[in-house]
Every structure is written in C-alpha cells, then in structure tokens.
C-alpha cells in the first residue's frame, strides 16, 4: 500500500489534456495556450470551446456557441419560483447550489449528452446569480438580451442596463482567467462525483460545496473586507503587522502550487489599473507591496506572493459586482472547467476509491458493565 502525503500534495491522481500549471515558473496553460495570452484577446466563449472541444473555434463555431448560449440562458419557472421564495434568506452560493440541483432534476427528463448539459448549465449559471440578486433587492429578474456575450449579459442581467465596454472586457478576462485551474479542490470533487456516473448537474453541485470554503473560492470577499478595514495606504503596515503578530492569515497571498506570483494576478492587476478608482488601486498596491515585504521577513525560507483572489476582489468591485456575489461569480467562470473535467473523466472513467489508514484502537470488547449492554 502506498502512503500519500496529507492533502495529496504532489500526488498525480489523473491525466489531463485540459490544463497545466507550472508552479515554479508561474504559468497556467489551457490546452497548450498560456492563459495570459488568451485573456482579453479571445472571448470566454472561445475559451469554453477550447476546453470542451480541444481547439479554439473558427468564426462559425464561435457564432454557433454564442447562439446556443443565448437560447439556453433563460431559467425555467421552477427555478425562478425557488429564488423568489428563498432569495431573502438563502446566502448566494447556497441559492446557486440548490438552483443547479433543481435544474438537474428537470434536465433528467431530457435526453441529452454530457456536453449538452455542460453548455446548458454554463449558460444558466450567470442568470441564476443575477436573478437571485435582483429578487433579493425586491426587483424583478432581467431576461438575457440577444447580441450580448456571456460577460456582457451577466452585467446586463444584474443591473438592467448595458455595461461599459471596459467593464465587459475586464469581466470577460476574469472569466477566462478563472475558467480552469487543474485539480483544485472543487474540480477534484467534481471529477470524484463524475466517476460514480452521476449526472453533470449533481457533480457541479458537489463542486460548489467545495467552493464555499474560504481557502478556495470564498477568498476574494475576505480580501475585499481586508482592504475596507485598512482603508488608507498609511494604515497598511500597522494593520498587517498586527494580523501577523496574531498569526492571522493575510488573505490574497500564498498558493499551494505557485512558488512565485500567480500569473492570473498579473493580468488582473493590469485590468485593475485600467478600471479601478485610483485611490482604491493605490490602496491595493500598497497593501500588496507591504504584505509581500512583511511575509518575506517572517518566512524568508519560502516565497509567499499575491494570488488570484487579491486583484479579483477589486476588479469585480470595479465592474459593479457586489462582494456577496464574488464567490458565485467565481462559480460562473469555473463552470466551464468543472464540466470539461467531467467530460474528460467520463472518457476513461474509473471510480475514485482511495484507502485511509486506520489509526484508532483495535481489540475492544463489550463488558457486562458497559452502559446499554445487558448482562
């Protein structure tokens, strides 16, 4: 029997054609393309096609996918009814998770392929989040609009108005950067669920469960709360030193794989420079520089650098997404990656079934005086 390290760090449990992470060089590659070259140069829809089908689409393939997304975006009445009843009490990710489960139950009545279900769900995720948000505020959901891309429609459905072009480009780039990241916790959970031959929606429900944790998709909101607590660049060092002295985690720093700056962060930082209020951008960069310096003082033996969550928070805020929707927006972006991994898992499936080493007692026996045991 092979003993694996805690957290399976460094253990290869699958082969993939989808995504490669070079943690030493700080590179993220989707099917051969460096993600920093894709973000802002091709649309999120093109990246979805790349991950699902293995190549960037030609114009006809891209138009077909865009039309498919538009026709799939509308939600059935059962989901809208659930959101109307629960939007005031359910937190966003739980509402999204249950909505996906409802969609899966309805989808089960339709004969469709794994890829059809993947497209359907990817198209509907932003509609769910936008409808939930508007209903929570006492407003009616906004129907998707023809002619708008995936990112543009999300912003339109949230705010009931056309978004600024620079905001659409920024969110589209964010979606591309977050589309996949190899076997992160939620994607691994999705593949484990898929290995049981469950349906796509159920596997994504499982992935959303993993995404809820603050060490995964929940991190950007904590970065935002940190920036709001610090308030001004002048407060950064005092605030950060106080947290480090208390052995608190500095959110937005460190990564299990990257041993240098997260490459997605570089792109997001440049997007932030272009669209974020200058005062907020100065605060963010000051906190970044100060935290990096203090963390290197405290841990000179290992690099701890900024990760994708840090500048995600300020970019999402700048395009008009409220902090409570940060993690749900992450889920909207990652749905393409989750479903691409589900498709890949099922192409050469084997049920995941690792062992656990038992370290508890053995040989215990029931005695006559044991409570609940009759002599």
- When computed from its CA atoms, the radius of gyration of the chain, rounded to whole angstroms, is 22
Is 317 assigned a catalytic role? no
How far is CA 204 from its chain centroid? 11
Phi, psi of 44 (to 5 degrees): -60, -35
Q: Is 8 left (phi over 0), alpha (psi -120 to 50) or beta?
A: left
Q: Are 349 and 114 in contact (CB under 8 A)?
A: no
Distances (CA, A) of 20 to 12, 17, 28, 184, 343: 13, 8, 6, 12, 17
Q: Are 160 and 184 in contact (CB under 8 A)?
A: no
Helix 92-107 vs helix 326-347: crossing angle, to nearest 10 = 40
Is 91 assigned a catalytic role? no
Cα-Cα-Cα-Cα dihedral sign, residues 55, 26, 169, 311? positive
Q: Which of 185, 178, 211, 177 is nearest to 41 (CA)?
A: 177
Among 49, 181, 255, 341, the one annotated catalytic: 255
The tokens for 131 are 């409808």
Quote the CA–CA distance of 240 and 283 in Å, as a whole number. Answer: 13
Q: Which residue has the tokens 């609009």?
A: 145
Among 309, 317, 341, 344, the one annotated catalytic: 309
Phi, psi of 293 (to 5 degrees): -65, -45
Quote the CA–CA distance of 162 and 191 in Å, as a whole number. Answer: 37
Q: Which residue has the tokens 């959901």?
A: 141
Q: Which residue has the tokens 């669920």?
A: 193
Quote the CA–CA distance of 18 and 341 in Å, as a whole number. Answer: 8
Half-sphere exposure of 92 (CA within 13 A, CB side): 29
DSSP 8-state code for residue 307? -
- Residues recognised as catalytic: 255, 309
């Amino acid at each position: 029997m092979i003993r694996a390290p805690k957290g399976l760090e460094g253990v290869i449990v699958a082969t993939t054609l989808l995504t490669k992470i070079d943690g030493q060089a700080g590179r993220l590659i989707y099917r051969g393309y460096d993600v920093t070259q894709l973000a802002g140069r091709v649309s999120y829809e093109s990246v979805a096609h790349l991950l699902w089908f293995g190549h960037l689409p030609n114009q006809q393939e891209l138009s077909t996918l865009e039309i498919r997304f538009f026709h799939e975006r509308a939600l059935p009445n059962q989901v809208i009814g659930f959101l109307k009843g629960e939007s005031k009490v359910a937190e966003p990710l739980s509402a999204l998770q249950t909505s996906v489960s409802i969609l899966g139950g309805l989808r089960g009545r339709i004969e469709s392929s794994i890829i059809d279900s993947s497209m359907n769900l990817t198209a509907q995720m932003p509609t769910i989040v936008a409808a939930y948000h508007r209903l929570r505020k006492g407003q009616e959901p906004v129907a998707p609009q023809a002619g708008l891309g995936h990112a543009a429609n999300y912003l339109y459905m949230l705010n009931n108005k056309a978004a600024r072009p620079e905001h659409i480009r920024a969110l589209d780039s964010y979606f591309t950067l977050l589309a996949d990241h190899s076997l992160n916790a939620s994607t691994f959970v999705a593949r484990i669920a898929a290995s049981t031959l469950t349906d796509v929606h159920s596997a994504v429900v499982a992935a959303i469960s993993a995404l809820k944790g603050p060490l995964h998709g929940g991190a950007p909101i904590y970065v935002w709360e940190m920036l709001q607590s610090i308030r001004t660049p002048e407060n950064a060092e005092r605030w950060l030193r106080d947290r480090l002295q208390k052995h608190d985690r500095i959110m937005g720093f460190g990564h299990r794989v990257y041993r240098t700056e997260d490459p997605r962060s570089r792109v997001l930082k440049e997007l932030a420079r272009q669209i974020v209020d200058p005062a907020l951008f100065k605060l963010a960069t000051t906190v970044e520089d100060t935290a990096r310096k203090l963390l290197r003082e405290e841990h000179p033996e290992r690099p701890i650098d900024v990760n994708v969550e840090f500048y995600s928070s300020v970019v999402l805020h700048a395009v008009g997404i409220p902090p409570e929707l940060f993690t749900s927006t992450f889920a909207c972006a990652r749905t393409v990656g989750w479903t691409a991994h589900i498709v890949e898992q099922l192409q050469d499936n084997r049920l995941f079934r690792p062992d656990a080493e038992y370290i508890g007692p053995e040989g215990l026996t029931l005695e006559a005086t044991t409570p609940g045991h009759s002599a």
